[in-house]
């Protein structure tokens, strides 16, 4: 493999920052044009392409030229309806070269309902004033039909109409300002993309500088990723950061990875990968779905950090991953955590880079009844283990606040608030929501957590909390308990509260996808679920609802949609007269 220039110093807070992403592109083309920017593993996993910095941005310039020919100007919103491919990579940066604002829309897959998918795209175009869509010719007719009433003469640019022989230098005069919106990141939901987070060039570059400092990014790092690009973790950590930092990126398809998780591990070995971001479920999947025969001669010793991010982090997931891969060179210090969100561009905190990952054992009852995270005794078998998300990255502040938005002391659970120089400008075309996003310069995340010695521990989402007779029950704890039952499909469980009019409090409801639907198996799973829930929480579950494949609704980023599933469950229960 071709290594980047060893004289290159990644963007960080102790060096002057470029003004815009466009300026950084120009710098990279001037200083290391032939360095490898990307190792792209084809979606079928049968081939790969090695692409230099020069070649990458020449292809991006082809897209920029086509956008310009279609009347796109600086500041125009361009939506990319493209599958995981080089097309989406080049299109994203082509829009940025022109000063336009790209946003990646999840591509239609066999698991998504086509009608819901196109309804969500219709809503995005209508709400956000989209100026152009880049997609495949095969989708022309459907998009023209779906968007006829809102798009008017909205251009749809096909990948077959991109010109060849692009030159980035012809777009240097299109350079935006530091405060211009660079791109949109959308939060995901069961009905598609929701709020469009506006991120300026300055905010993105501040994030790259601060987070690169936090993870000790080096010129000889290699980042490996299978993450989808319409989510902040994949877009920033697994795409924008390595490309803008001149760090080689090994990129593979998320769909291929789900079918064959071991491809990530072998890519790490082949390219001597050093950094990889993963959602928590991936640790369990890699620990349980990869067969020993697929790991023959595997060497993970090059890895500086696997970084757990984007969903609740569980200590047991780290443990089984560590046990599985220690024989293959994985060190204990390589397991780290980041707390991140699109509204801060990406990372808010980072753990484990300066020492072992920290875990906090706390007493269950003070946690549930008093919102306090009190240390548990060593022999407390019902203690909860909460994983540290680490300290705030440079130029980012974090505090925990009460209902009046006043700071709370250590080990008191409240809402997490943040303030930084890489925060959102606002939500695109949603002025009212934008005005509510900040309180005296602080962004209120909606997440709950507590601080200990400057490190953040996240406990759950404020809106998802289940309160049963005064006890705070976190749905992810219920979901983890039920997911461990034999016969329940891993990762296909959702818990929530259902208000009980007679008792004046909430009941626990849990829905689980099962692998067998015979009555004996269902009865065993329901009994075991209720027993485990009451043992862990001292609260009974009123509903244990077992379902088959495709019942559960997911968000556009593949997560189980708690609110949508709750509504579906309530409708079914009401129709059957059970509520």
* Percentage of the chain modeled with pLDDT above 90: 69
| 237-249 core/surface letters (b: 16 or more CB in 10 A; e: else) | bbbbbbbbbbbbb
* Digit-coded pLDDT (tens) for 304-359: 999 999 888 989 999 999 999 999 999 989 999 999 999 999 999 999 998 899 99
- Residue 14 scores a pLDDT above 90: no
Give the residue-averaged pLDDT of 437-461: 93
CATH architecture for residues 21-259: 3-Layer(aba) Sandwich (3.40)
Name the nearest CA neighbour of 550 among 478, 470, 492, 495. 492
Question: CB under 8 Å to 10, separation ≥6 — which residues?
Answer: 212, 217, 218, 219, 245, 246, 247
| 507-525 core/surface letters (b: 16 or more CB in 10 A; e: else) | bbbbbbbbeeeeeeeeeeb
From 3.10.270.10, 3.40.50.2020, 3.30.300.30, 2.130.10.10, which CATH number describes the 465-575 domain? 3.30.300.30
Question: CB under 8 Å to 177, separation ≥6 — which residues?
Answer: 19, 20, 201
Give the residue-averaged pLDDT of 269-291: 94
- Residue 110 scores a pLDDT above 80: no
Higher pLDDT, 547 or 559: 547
pLDDT score, position 114: 83
State the helix-helix crossing angle for 86-98 and 21-31, rounded to 10 degrees: 110
pLDDT score, position 434: 80
Average pLDDT, the chain: 91
* Digit-coded pLDDT (tens) for 388-422: 999 999 999 999 999 999 999 999 999 999 999 99
pLDDT score, position 351: 97
- Residue 186 scores a pLDDT above 60: yes
Which H or E run contains 491? Answer: strand 488-500
Name the nearest CA neighbour of 225 among 200, 201, 247. 247
pLDDT score, position 2: 47
Structural domain boundaries of the chain?
Answer: 21-259, 338-463, 465-575
* Digit-coded pLDDT (tens) for 454-507: 999 999 888 888 988 778 888 988 998 999 999 999 889 999 999 887 777 789
* Digit-coded pLDDT (tens) for 252-279: 999 899 899 999 999 999 999 999 999 9
Please tell me the class of the 338-463 domain: mainly beta
* Digit-coded pLDDT (tens) for 46-88: 789 999 999 999 999 999 999 999 999 999 999 999 999 999 9
The count of residues in the chain is: 579
């Amino acid at each position: 493999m071709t290594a980047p220039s060893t004289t290159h110093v990644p963007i960080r807070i102790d060096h002057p920052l470029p003004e815009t992403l466009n300026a950084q592109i120009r710098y990279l083309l001037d200083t290391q044009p032939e360095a490898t920017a990307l190792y792209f593993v084809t979606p079928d996993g049968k081939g790969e392409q090695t692409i230099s910095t020069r070649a990458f941005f020449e292809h991006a310039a082809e897209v920029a030229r086509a956008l310009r020919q279609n009347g796109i100007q600086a500041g125009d919103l361009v939506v990319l309806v493209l599958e995981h491919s080089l097309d989406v990579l080049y299109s994203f940066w082509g829009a940025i070269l022109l000063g336009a604002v790209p946003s990646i829309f999840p591509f239609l897959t066999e698991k998504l309902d086509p009608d819901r998918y196109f309804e969500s795209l219709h809503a995005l175009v209508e709400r956000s004033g989209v100026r152009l869509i880049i997609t495949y010719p095969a989708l022309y007719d459907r998009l023209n039909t779906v968007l006829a009433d809102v798009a008017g003469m909205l251009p749809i640019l096909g990948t077959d109409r991109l010109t060849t022989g692009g030159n980035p230098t012809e777009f240097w005069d299109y350079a935006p300002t530091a405060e211009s919106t660079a791109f949109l990141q959308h939060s995901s939901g069961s009905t598609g993309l929701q709020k469009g987070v506006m991120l300026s060039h300055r905010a993105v570059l501040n994030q790259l500088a601060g987070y690169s400092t936090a993870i000790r990014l080096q010129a000889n790092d290699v980042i490996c990723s299978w993450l989808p690009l319409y989510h902040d973790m994949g877009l920033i950590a697994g795409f924008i950061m390595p490309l803008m930092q001149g760090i080689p990126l090994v990129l593979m398809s998320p769909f291929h990875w789900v079918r064959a998780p071991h491809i990530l591990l072998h890519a790490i070995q082949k390219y001597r990968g050093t950094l990889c971001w993963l959602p928590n479920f991936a640790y369990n999947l890699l620990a349980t779905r990869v067969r020993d025969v697929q790991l023959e001669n595997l060497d993970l010793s090059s890895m500086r950090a696997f970084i757990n991010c984007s969903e609740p982090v569980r200590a047991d997931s780290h443990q089984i991953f560590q046990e599985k891969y220690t024989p293959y060179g994985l060190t204990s210090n390589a397991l780290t955590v980041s707390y991140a969100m699109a509204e801060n561009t990406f990372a808010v905190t980072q753990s484990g880079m300066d020492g072992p990952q920290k875990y906090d054992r706390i007493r269950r009852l003070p946690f549930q009844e008093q919102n306090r995270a009190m240390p548990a005794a060593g022999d407390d078998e019902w203690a909860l283990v909460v994983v540290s998300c680490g300290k705030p990255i440079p130029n980012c502040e974090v505090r925990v606040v009460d209902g009046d938005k006043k700071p709370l002391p250590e080990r008191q659970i409240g809402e997490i608030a943040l303030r930084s120089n890489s925060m959102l400008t606002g939500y695109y075309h949603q002025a009212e929501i934008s005005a509510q996003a900040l309180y005296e310069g602080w962004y209120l995340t909606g997440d709950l957590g507590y601080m200990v010695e400057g490190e953040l521990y996240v406990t759950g989402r404020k809106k998802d909390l289940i309160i049963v007779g005064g006890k705070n029950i976190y749905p992810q704890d219920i979901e983890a308990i039920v997911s461990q039952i034999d016969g329940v499909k891993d990762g296909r469980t959702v818990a929530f509260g259902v208000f009980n009019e007679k008792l004046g409090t909430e009941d626990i409801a849990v829905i689980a996808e099962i692998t067998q639907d015979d009555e004996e198996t269902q009865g065993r799973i329901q009994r075991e679920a209720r027993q485990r829930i009451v043992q862990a929480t001292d609260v009974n579950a009123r509903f244990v609802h077992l379902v088959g494949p495709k019942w559960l609704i997911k968000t556009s980023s593949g997560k189980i949609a708690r609110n949508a599933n709750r509504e579906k469950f309530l409708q079914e229960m009401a129709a059957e007269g059970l509520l």
